[in-house]
Amino acid sequence: MDQDWRLRGQEEYLKGAELCRKRYERYSESWDHDHCEFCWAKFAEEDLIPDALHKGYATADNYRWICEQCFKDFKERFGWRLIESQGETEG
């Protein structure tokens, strides 16, 4: 897996990170989307970019997002811990 094209030094800021599965929320009002930290899949709110992902795994501050597939592929390697998202419903 060390040759995986998606790995670009994310260990520096995502090793052991706490993540929560949640509906996408913008980090800043000036942003209209984010990208998966690994595969660059696009995340956006449903009313802004309909064909983007609308759920995934995020750091508590909503700054870093990871898609479902990359989470599954790298969760053990990175040792992520899942935490509850406050006020989040899975819907």
Closest CA to 38 of 65, 76, 17: 65
H or E element that contains 21:
strand 18-23
How far apart CA 41 and CA 37 sit, in angstroms, is 8
Q: Where are the domains of the chain?
A: 11-82
68 CB-near residues (< 8 Å, 6+ apart) = 55, 56, 57
pLDDT confidence bin for 91, thresholds 50/70/90: very low
User: Tell me: the pLDDT tens digits for 68-88?
Assistant: 999 999 999 999 999 987 555
Q: Quote the pLDDT of residue 17.
A: 97
User: Tell me: the pLDDT tens digits for 10-54?
Assistant: 999 999 999 999 999 988 889 899 999 999 999 999 888 878 999
